[in-house]
Amino acid sequence: MIRNLLLVGETGSGKSTSMRKLPLEKTIWLNTEKKSLPFKGQKKLLENVIVKDPDEMIDGMAWIEEQENCEYVVLDSLSMLMDMWYMKHIATAPANKTQQAWGNYKTFGMNILELMKQSKKFYIVTALNQTLNDRFGSPEKECAKVQGSLGGGGIESHFTVVAHSNISQDPTTKKLGYGFVLGKTNERPLVSAKSPIDFLDGKKVVDDNDIMLLVNEINEFIEE
């Protein structure tokens, strides 16, 4: 089993906040969003790398493998990384080079995903959520937002666990609660979420926005 995790959700749904209990001194954060992190203690991070050029990612991931003190890598977010590549190489490409550029886009994305799968580090990747419609205009699927042929739920197959951020509201206090969806539910029947059989005792909804609950469970599955 590969030690990785994809967390999909809208902006403000608690994706980055859920990382607050990671052992930050053992974590490298690949910050494609170029934002401050929404929790205290971020200065404890082993590295907070602001990703400015997507073409530096492959070499950067090779460098990460050499960092002995690093156990966890957060890529926040894959959606932004692929958008950066699009803007640099496809949006600026001549019309007669666009098809080739899209092919290179897919190759770049696949290389990133394969390096994660081969890594000795635990990769936690975030992505924005998108809802796809069928040919009649009805919602058909909730999945990670990535353009081109990698989208539409394609990247989810490269991850051991795919969780979707979940926001609920207490009917009495009206207080919002944050957590994860790990599989299709009556409330979220279209999500691309997935997890191994008996993961967290088969729970499809976790009412605790702590990514370490999922990380520790994946580690236990691997050790068994």
Tens of pLDDT, residue by residue over 161-184, are 999 998 887 788 888 888 999 988
Neighbours of 44 (CB within 10 A): 13
* Residue 153, pLDDT score: 79
State residue 171's pLDDT score: 80
Using DSSP's 3-state secondary structure scheme, residue 76 falls into: strand
User: Comparing 54-63, 64-73, 95-104, 193-202, which segment has the lowest mean pLDDT?
Assistant: 193-202
- Residue pair 5/161 in contact (Cβ under 8 Å)? The answer is yes
Percent share of the chain, pLDDT over 70: 100
Ordered strands of the 72-76 beta sheet:
47-50, 27-31, 72-76, 122-127, 4-8, 161-169, 176-181, 205-206
* pLDDT in the model for residue 31: 96
> Which contiguous run of DSSP H or E holds residue 122?
strand 122-127
- Higher model confidence: residue 102 or residue 151? 102
Q: Distance between CA 180 and CA 193 in Å, rounded?
A: 9
| Mean local confidence (pLDDT), 156-163 | 93
Q: What is the mean pLDDT of residues 50-74?
A: 96
pLDDT > 80? residue 77: yes
Is a pLDDT exceeding 80 seen at residue 69? yes
CA distances from 144 to 67, 73, 190 (A): 29, 19, 12
Structural domains in the chain, sorted by start: 4-223 (3.40.50.300)
Work out the average pLDDT over 6-29.
93
- Over 90: is that where the pLDDT of 13 sits? no
- Cα 126 versus chain centre, distance: 2
